[in-house]
Amino acid sequence: MELGLSLGEPDAGRAAPELGLGLGVGAAGRGVEAGRAAGAAARWWAEPVSETEPAVRLSLVSGGLGLQWPPASGSGECHAVFFVLGSCSGFSISLHESWSRDPRRFSSLACVRAGRSTEALARGFDVNRAPSTAASALAAEDDEEDQAAGALSSSPNDSAGSFPLDLGRGGGAHGEGATARAGGGGERSSSRASDEDEGASARKKLRLSKEQSAFLEESFKEQSTLNPKQKAALAKQLNLRPRQVEVWFQNRRARTKLKQTEVDCEYLKRCCEALTEENRRLHKEIAELRALKTAPPFYMHLPATTLSMCPSCERVASNPTSAPAPGSSAPPAKAAAAVSNNSSAAVAPARGGEPRPSSFAALFAATRSFPLASQPRPPAPASNCL
DNA sequence: TCTCAGGCACCACTTACATCA
DNA sequence: AATGATGTAAGTGGTGCCTGA
């Protein structure tokens, strides 16, 4: 069972500075692969910034390596960047403050600008698309950025153009992406109609790549639900259909809920065990106390002056100041100790060796449980109650 | 203002398939 | 190589919410 699962609702307003940055770090020789993974683990929201605002500036510092993106002459548009630095490590990242403080920047998709990191993206996430298609899609992003996600889902041809899944990777090419939404309807109706379009061979399972899964996972950590804009943007980013992103998030939420249910179940089980044990112990204690009550009261044999009732609080108390009763050989302190010993002996087994304060004293403190209440009380001693 | 239909998102459940031991 | 267990992408039906007529 997995523990430590955080199920808190993601804070939609938490636009952390790390958002909008994809950063790849890899060891020499494996830069692209590692960069892909690291980039996939980075945040991805970004929204086209107004022309008047500065674009994000990244400061990557690694042993003197420092660069800013975009250059000072860059446009005002903001995009996520996936740097693939094959031999760099240990650098830090800082976003331009004015950019990182505005949550609006993260409400939509990060688009990788062709010419800066296109190749990194294409190699990193283009598992379902032919390279040429990826390049064209990226090139087309300039025109599509401000169309938002609605264009992605509203255009009948968009799925064929933007999500032409090449499933030959896993031997599962079935062209679903091109035909799923050919009807021009919404994602739901279209995807559900895909079977009709594709016949019996439709259910060929697509396995998302590790990069895609990691990216989706990171996105899920940020937000467990997606609005249509984000969904379409993420789908575009990962070269998936929006329906696939939607399904992935649905399944991911289901898995999260299932794990949380398991954690809750385990917790409740332990609570139940603890309560059962407590219940058993209390029953045992009740039985012992009842047996004690029916037995001849041991305090009948005590000297009358050893135990006394406080007139104010009506609690039994030992009276060390009282003189021993005539004929009694037990000193008061010893008699009190006998009471104490008896109480311990009577109660201790019920607790399994653990003393249980107050239970036995409460038995004596209760007037109704004092069998000698009807008998003449011993002389009222000086109150030793506090 | 109320009602109703349509669209959409989500969920629970299920199925089918890929992967692994 | 065959097989069962497991994980997961995807399908299906239901429900609730929202919006426009």
Interval A22-27 mean pLDDT: 29
pLDDT band at residue A295 under the 50/70/90 scheme:
confident
Nearest to A81 by CA among A34, A124, A51, A52: A124
Whether the bond into A326 is cis, omega within 30 of 0: no
Are the C-beta atoms of residues A248 and A126 closer than 8 Å to each other? no
Residues recorded for chain A: 386
pLDDT tens digits, one per residue of A335-347: 333 333 333 333 3
Give one word for A328, left, alpha or beta, with left for phi > 0 and alpha for psi -120 to 50: beta
Measured between alpha carbons, how far is A318 from A364 in angstroms, rounded to an integer?
A: 12
Using CA atoms, how far residue A351 sits from A285, A291, A295, A348, in Å, is 8, 16, 20, 5
Are the C-beta atoms of residues A108 and A45 closer than 8 Å to each other? yes
Look at residue A245 in the predicted model and tell me its pLDDT: 92
Question: Please, which positions of strand C sit below 7 A from a protein CB?
Answer: 7-12
Integer-rounded Cα radius of gyration of chain A? 38
Look at residue A261 in the predicted model and tell me its pLDDT: 87
- pLDDT exceeds cutoff 80 at A44: no
Q: Which nucleotide is closest to A153, CA to C1'?
A: B8
Measured between alpha carbons, how far is A386 from A382 in angstroms, rounded to an integer?
A: 12
* A17 in contact with nucleic chain B (CB within 7 A): no
Are the C-beta atoms of residues A73 and A248 closer than 8 Å to each other? no
Measured between alpha carbons, how far is A193 from A198 in angstroms, rounded to an integer?
A: 9
pTM of the entire predicted model:
0.42
Measured between alpha carbons, how far is A149 from A236 in angstroms, rounded to an integer?
A: 9
Look at residue A65 in the predicted model and tell me its pLDDT: 25
Interval A144-149 mean pLDDT: 37
- Residue A219 (CA) to nucleotide B4 (C1'), in angstroms, measures 38
* A169 in contact with nucleic chain B (CB within 7 A): no
Question: Please, which positions of strand B sit below 7 A from a protein CB?
Answer: 7-13, 16-19
- Residue A208 (CA) to nucleotide C2 (C1'), in angstroms, measures 27
Using CA atoms, how far residue A385 sits from A140, A160, A314, A317, A342, in Å, is 90, 90, 10, 8, 22
* A225 in contact with nucleic chain B (CB within 7 A): yes
Footprint of strand C on the protein (CB under 7 A): A 176, 191-192, 194-195, 202-203, 205-208, 213, 243-244, 247-248, 250-252, 254-255
- Residue A227 (CA) to nucleotide B6 (C1'), in angstroms, measures 20
